[in-house]
């Protein structure tokens, strides 16, 4: 698949089939993630691939318990919010059935002489996006999530994550049970300033043409 097609259609997929994903495909998308840039090419990131049913159940149950009510009570002012939050509700209640949960973690290692936490996230996020686009190109659904924070002690214990390793995100991955489709984003002429800041070109929350 053309990279522009993969990037422009890799919707956050919160409906995943429980069918297994071949280990070779998991290796392929994580290899793509390792190609991502990082500050000074420090590559301070590691990937924890969770396929063990007991471990997924522990993590999924802990996140579901912490999130279910919270997500159910969040306001859904428009269709976009409704779809996103309904999808999140579905995802948290089915996390343990997702075939693969990928945690991208990192250590404070850069700059080597005076490491800063911000560089941990700078190393993790480009890798996550490479992984997401690679997965899309193979027909696999993913969603970038950060709600693992609500169950961090359980996750750390279940996966034996040392205290000096930070968890950047959790990416559930599997065969999509929803449609991939064109992303809705603020268009080029509302986000690009030529030769200097030209004033606010748009308002928040974003609107689409
Ligand atoms: C830093 C970051 C944190 C996110 N956290 C979550 C999350 O915790 N749960 C979730 O369901 N989606 C999460 N998302 C996914 C966004 O909601 C999604 O990318 C956005 O709504 C656009 O969706 P679309 O690509 O399908 O248009 C996160 C995305 C980013 C970049």
* 101, part of any domain: yes
pTM over 0.85: yes
Q: Which of 76, 144, 184, 206 to mutate to test the pocket of ligand 1 (most atoms within 8 A of CB)?
A: 144
Is the C-alpha dihedral spanning 207, 139, 48, 35 positive or negative? Answer: negative
User: Contact, 176 vs 13, CB < 8 A?
Assistant: yes
* 84, part of any domain: yes
CATH at 16: 3.40.109.10
What average pLDDT is seen over the chain?
A: 96
* 23, part of any domain: yes
pLDDT in tens, 47-100: 999 999 999 999 999 999 999 999 999 999 988 899 999 999 999 999 999 999
Q: How confident is the model at residue 208 (pLDDT cuts 50, 70, 90)?
A: confident
Q: How many folded domains does the chain comprise?
A: 1
Cβ of 142 below 6 Å from ligand 1: no
* 161, part of any domain: yes
Residue 209 has pLDDT above 80, yes or no: no
Instruction: Classify burial at 180, counting beta carbons within 10 Å of its beta carbon; exposed 0-12, middle 13-18, buried 19 or more.
Output: middle
Cα(200) to centroid(ligand 1), Å: 24
Is the C-alpha dihedral spanning 178, 179, 184, 188 positive or negative? Answer: positive
Cβ of 88 below 6 Å from ligand 1: yes
Residue of the CA atom closest to atom 4 of ligand 1: 145
Rounded Cα distance, 205 and 192, in Å: 17
Total residues belonging to the chain: 209
* 199, part of any domain: no
Residue of the CA atom closest to atom 18 of ligand 1: 12
Domain assignment of residue 17, given as a range: 3-191
**Helix or strand (DSSP H, E) at 14:** none
* 200, part of any domain: no
Rounded Cα distance, 140 and 176, in Å: 6
pLDDT in tens, 172-185: 999 999 999 999 99
* 203, part of any domain: no
CA angle 53-54-57, nearest 5°? Answer: 85
Q: What is the pLDDT of residue 207?
A: 84
Residue of the CA atom closest to atom 13 of ligand 1: 145
* 45, part of any domain: yes
Mean pLDDT of 160-180: 97
């Amino acid at each position: 698949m053309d990279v522009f097609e993969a990037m422009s259609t890799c919707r956050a997929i919160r409906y995943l089939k429980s069918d297994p994903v071949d280990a070779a495909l998991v290796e392929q998308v994580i290899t793509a993630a390792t190609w991502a840039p990082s500050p000074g090419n420090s590559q301070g990131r590691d990937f924890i691939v969770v396929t063990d049913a007991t471990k997924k159940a522990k993590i999924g149950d802990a996140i579901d318990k912490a999130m279910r009510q919270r997500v159910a009570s969040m306001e859904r002012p428009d269709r976009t919010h409704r779809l996103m939050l309904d999808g999140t509700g579905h995802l948290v209640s089915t996390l343990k059935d997702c075939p693969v949960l990928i945690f991208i973690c990192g250590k404070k290692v850069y700059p080597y002489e005076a490491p800063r936490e911000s560089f941990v996230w700078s190393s993790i996020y480009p890798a996550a996006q490479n992984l997401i686009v690679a997965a899309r190109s193979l027909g696999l659904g993913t969603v970038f999530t950060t709600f693992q924070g609500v169950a961090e002690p359980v996750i750390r214990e279940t996966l034996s994550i040392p205290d000096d390793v930070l968890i950047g995100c959790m990416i559930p991955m599997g065969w999509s049970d929803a449609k991939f489709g064109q992303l809705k984003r603020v268009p080029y002429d509302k986000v690009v300033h030529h030769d200097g800041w030209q004033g606010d070109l748009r308002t928040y929350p974003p609107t689409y043409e």
